[in-house]
């Protein structure tokens, strides 16, 4: 049985990889513009799927349902935060940045603020944020490969490194865009099948979104009888301000993440950017709407089939997970019966273990493995492109070697990808924190640096170079300091933890940009007109205080 499971999982993972690599090779990039932004011809619905795959990382796929299951209502900050940010992005930034028409986010900041210093700071921030984020993805892929192929997690991480370096370096963005469409389809199917089966098992209703509300209420009832706080009771695991700070950090971080924004450069127009944002959230929402259902069903099964059972008669699946140290069972009161608080379950195993717990069969378990790998690899691929474009384009080409040939820049881009992947992989062998925590730090950094710089860059024509340079530096400093201070427990405001640090970073950066800009010279007339111009569609141009219509 173990062997059959191994072969099925391996077979499904290899099959899906063959598809991704095949697509990447088929679309092998030949030109620089293809490599970075896919020649700007991806239709909005497909671009939406690619954004979805890029977006849904190992943290969303593997970690989120488990987080909601363990935190109850408080875990919903992740659900709302990681979806609500798309409104800020699509209303306030994406179409405008598309009209400005540059390859990367640091390039927009450098050109809009007419400052090489700002460009370099933005490129360095992009590298820090994307690199932090990718460490989490690589260690996530290590856990999945390690658990399912029954090899050491470190070996699993190394396998992931090789795969990511290969298709990110050779496919470029175009390869990745179409690869990610395939990855989205595989990961969403892999996520939905177990939820639908569990819904049928527990409620006899094939639509989990309709049926799990009753289960949530029933869970509250069970908790009440056990003397626990109700599953849906608000703010049991953190203050209300932590909930809102985390939600804000995740939303603003979403709107400022370079590897997500760059997706909107791959569409043809501002109109296409708006539709891409809408499609992206629809496809992302499918997973985010299902995660709380996943959480409720898993908790229900655990409460009914595991909790309250004699400890020496637990189902067979518990043993494999206890061996990984991610599940711990201890009979504190010595009555031979397992209580809920005697069960220590890591939120990262909930999604991976539930198909086993619910007896869904080897095919579904193998499919979950392939889906989790798709989530980890697709996000890591997008992150690597961001890192490579920041270095090869914004630092190497725009600052160090303005005369570099296309071929030369492409080579530098590829070398950067391989180097960054290997380096991130080495750190991922011994990750500096829990995966979801590392990911939240990346969001906090993005909301403390890019979100204010982009928001004011697009909407406030008076914002200038000195303002944005000091703003990004202050935002970076405040966010990092708060993360470290809250982590060590020495300093906290209103119970806000390290994961909510972005709210302070963003506030500090916005205030700094406004104050410094007002105290220094206003941008030139030309720059200010360029900013106002972003409020009009491509056919309209704002020049000399008037709007001009361009009829082809």
Q: Given the rule CB under 8 A, which residues bind other proteins?
A: 33, 40, 73, 76-77, 79-80, 83-84, 86-88, 90-92, 98-99, 101-102, 209-210, 213-214, 216-217, 220, 232, 234-235, 240, 243-244, 247-248, 268-271, 274-275, 277-278, 281-282, 285, 288-289, 292, 535-542, 546-552
Q: How far is the CB of 37 from other proteins (least distance, A)?
A: 8
Which CB sits closer to other proteins, 403 or 551?
551
Could you tell me where the DSSP H helices lie in 257-403? 258-261, 270-301, 317-323, 350-357, 362-389
* Residue 139 CB, nearest approach to other proteins (Å): 28
Q: What are phi and psi of 494, to 5 degrees?
A: 50, 35
Q: Which is nearer to other proteins, 488 or 550 (CB)?
A: 550
Q: Smallest gap, in angstroms, from Cβ of residue 282 to other proteins?
A: 5
- Residue 154 or 535: which CB sits closer to other proteins? 535
Say if CB 68 and CB 291 are below 8 A apart. Answer: yes
Calpha distance 377→186 (Å, rounded): 12
Whichever of 197 and 283 has its CB closer to other proteins, that residue is: 283
Residue 239 Cβ, how far from other proteins at the closest point, in Å? 12
Helical ranges in 89-149 per DSSP H? 94-100, 105-112, 116-148
Q: Which is nearer to other proteins, 99 or 409 (CB)?
A: 99
CB of 397 vs other proteins, minimal distance in Å: 12
User: How many residues comprise the chain?
Assistant: 552
The nearest distance, CB 341 to other proteins, in angstroms, is 22
Of 356 and 530, which has the nearer Cβ to other proteins? 530
Token pair listed for 449: 């640096």
Maximum Cα–Cα distance across the chain: 83
Q: Would you say 217 or 525 has its CB closer to other proteins?
A: 217
Q: Measured between alpha carbons, how far is residue 398 from residues 107, 117, 391 in Å?
A: 9, 11, 10
Q: Which tokens belong to 29? A: 């990039």
Closest of 347, 361, 242 to residue 298, by C-alpha: 347
Minimum distance of other proteins from residue 451's CB (angstroms): 15
Angstrom distance (rounded) from CA 363 to CA 355: 10
Residue 454 forms beta bridges with which residues?
none
Select from 506, 1, 2, 62 the least CA-distant residue to 254: 506
Two structure tokens written together for 478: 């405040």
Residue 255 vs 349, nearer CB to other proteins: 255
What residues have CB less than 8 Å from 479, skipping those under 6 apart? 444, 445, 447, 448, 449, 501, 502, 504, 505
CB of 287 to other proteins, least distance (A): 10
């Amino acid at each position: 049985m173990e062997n059959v499971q191994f072969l099925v999982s391996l077979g499904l993972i290899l099959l899906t990889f063959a598809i991704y690599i095949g697509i990447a090779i088929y679309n092998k990039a030949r030109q620089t513009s293809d490599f970075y932004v896919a020649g700007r011809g991806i239709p909005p619905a497909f671009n939406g799927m690619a954004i979805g795959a890029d977006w849904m990382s190992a943290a969303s796929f593997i970690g989120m349902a488990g987080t909601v299951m363990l935190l109850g209502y408080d875990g919903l900050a992740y659900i709302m935060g990681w979806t609500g940010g798309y409104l800020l992005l699509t209303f306030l930034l994406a179409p405008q940045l598309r009209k400005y028409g540059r390859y990367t986010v640091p390039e927009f900041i450098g050109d809009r603020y007419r400052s090489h210093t700002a460009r370099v700071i933005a490129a360095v921030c992009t590298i820090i944020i994307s690199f932090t984020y990718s460490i989490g993805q690589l260690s996530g892929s290590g856990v999945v490969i390690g658990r399912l192929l029954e090899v050491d997690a470190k070996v699993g991480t190394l396998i992931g490194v090789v795969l990511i370096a290969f298709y990110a370096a050779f496919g470029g963005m175009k390869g990745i865009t179409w690869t990610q469409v395939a990855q989205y389809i595989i990961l969403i199917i892999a996520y939905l099948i177990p939820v639908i089966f569990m819904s049928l098992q527990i409620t006899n209703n094939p639509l989990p979104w309709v049926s799990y509300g009753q289960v949530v209420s029933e869970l509250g009832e069970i908790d009440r009888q056990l003397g626990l706080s109700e599953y849906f009771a608000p703010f049991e695991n953190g203050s209300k301000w932590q909930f809102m700070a985390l939600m804000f950090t995740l939303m603003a971080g979403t709107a400022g993440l370079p590897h997500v924004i760059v997706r909107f450069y791959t569409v043809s127009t501002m109109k296409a950017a708006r539709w891409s944002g809408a499609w992206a959230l629809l496809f992302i929402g499918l997973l985010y709407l299902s995660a709380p259902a996943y959480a409720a069903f898993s908790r229900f099964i655990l409460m009914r089939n595991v909790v309250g059972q004699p400890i020496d008669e637990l189902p067979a699946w518990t043993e494999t997970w206890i061996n990984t140290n991610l599940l711990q069972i201890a009979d504190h009161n010595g009555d031979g019966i397992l209580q809920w608080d005697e069960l220590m379950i890591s939120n990262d195993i909930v999604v991976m273990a539930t198909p086993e717990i619910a007896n869904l069969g080897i095919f579904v378990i193998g499919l979950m493995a392939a889906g989790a790998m798709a989530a980890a690899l697709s996000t890591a691929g997008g992150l690597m492109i961001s890192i490579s474009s920041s270095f090869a384009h914004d630092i190497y080409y725009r600052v160090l070697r303005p005369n570099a040939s296309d071929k030369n820049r492409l080579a530098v881009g590829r070398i950067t990808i391989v180097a960054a992947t290997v380096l991130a992989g080495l750190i991922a062998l011994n990750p500096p924190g829990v995966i979801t925590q590392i990911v939240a730090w990346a969001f906090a950094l993005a909301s403390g640096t890019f979100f204010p710089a982009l928001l004011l860059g697009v909407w406030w024509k008076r914002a200038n170079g000195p303002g944005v340079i000091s703003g990004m530096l202050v935002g970076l400093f405040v966010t990092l300091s708060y993360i470290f201070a809250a982590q060590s427990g020495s300093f906290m405001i209103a119970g806000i933890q390290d994961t909510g640090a972005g709210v302070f970073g963003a506030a500090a950066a916005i205030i700094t940009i406004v104050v410094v800009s007002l105290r220094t010279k206003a941008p030139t007339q030309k720059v200010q007109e360029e900013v106002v111009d972003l409020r009009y569609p491509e056919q309209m141009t704002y020049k000399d205080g008037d709007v001009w219509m361009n009829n082809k």
